[in-house]
Amino acid sequence: MGRFRRGLFRKGKRYSGIWLAALVGVGFALLVIFLVDGALRPAITTLAGVKTENRVTAMLNQAVEDTMAQEGVAYADLVTLEKDGQGRISLLTVDSVKLNSLRIKILDQLLKQVEGLGSQELGIRLGSLTGFATASGWGPVLPVQVVAAAAPRAEFSNRFTAQGINQTLHQINLDVEVEVTLLIPGGQTNTTVSAQVCVAETLLVGEVPDSYLELPGWNS
């Protein structure tokens, strides 16, 4: 009986040692994961934000190009120039109805594309986190995906740029801001993407008035 009890004691002691080693191993693994997450998460968040901004900007450009082509709209359809008796530009007016229609269609297309972004476009190669350019394309892909995107905010703005003697480039730009929630390894992160794209432009010949007609939602 004493030998049997001693055997049970040794077995119990051995199992206790195994459980203790397992607990220590799990604790060490969790510590490593915590330290790695703390070290890599900022880099992953930054890279995910940059990739998202680049993709959304490219999508905005494509949405503008597609919408303008589908609607058959050019600069002359959006802007009316009035000249005085000497042929100088005296007034510049913009068709706000057409612009707002274009804005709605562009933003609708943009939102659909942004919500469809996934790891194929936003995934980050593990080698990109090393900081070495030669390793940026190496390793497995860490998944990054859009889980929510708020309706984009947008407004038009003017830009006049001197191009030479009595020549001015007039651009109608669309300034867009999109709030995006990204699912990254370890949790979620929010990022705001700001982008600007030219909707229409033309070269104005002659003097351009210092003032022009401004419309609601229109910045100069």
| Helices within 72-186 (DSSP H only) | 75-78, 96-115, 119-122
Mean pLDDT along residues 153-157: 89
For position 104, what pLDDT does the model report?
92
Mean pLDDT along residues 32-53: 69
Highest mean pLDDT, choosing among 33-42, 74-83, 141-150: 74-83
Query: Is 32 a residue whose pLDDT tops 80?
Result: no
Query: Is 191 a residue whose pLDDT tops 80?
Result: yes
What six digits make up the tokens of 37? 């997450």
Highest mean pLDDT, choosing among 41-45, 109-113, 126-130, 216-220: 109-113
**Banded model confidence at residue 173, pLDDT cuts 50, 70, 90:** very high
Q: Give whole-number Cα distances, 103 to 1, 93, 111, 152, 160, in Å.
A: 89, 18, 12, 10, 21
Mean pLDDT along residues 145-173: 85
Query: Is 214 a residue whose pLDDT tops 70?
Result: no
Q: What is the model's pTM?
A: 0.69
Query: Is 8 a residue whose pLDDT tops 70?
Result: no
Mean pLDDT along residues 31-60: 73
Lowest mean pLDDT among 10-14, 122-126, 196-200: 10-14
H or E segment to which residue 70 belongs: helix 2-71
DSSP string, 159-176: EEEEEETTEEEEEEEEEE
What six digits make up the tokens of 138? 């190496």
Query: Domain locations in the chain?
Result: 2-219
**Banded model confidence at residue 90, pLDDT cuts 50, 70, 90:** confident
SS3 (DSSP) at 100? helix
- How far, rounded to the nearest angstrom, does the alpha carbon of residue 166 sit from its chain's CA centroid? 38
Lowest mean pLDDT among 34-48, 70-84, 164-178: 34-48
**Banded model confidence at residue 14, pLDDT cuts 50, 70, 90:** low
For position 176, what pLDDT does the model report?
92
31: Cβ–Cβ under 8 A, 6 or more apart, which residues? none
Mean pLDDT along residues 201-207: 82
Contact 80, 71 (CB under 8 A): no
Query: Is 6 a residue whose pLDDT tops 70?
Result: no
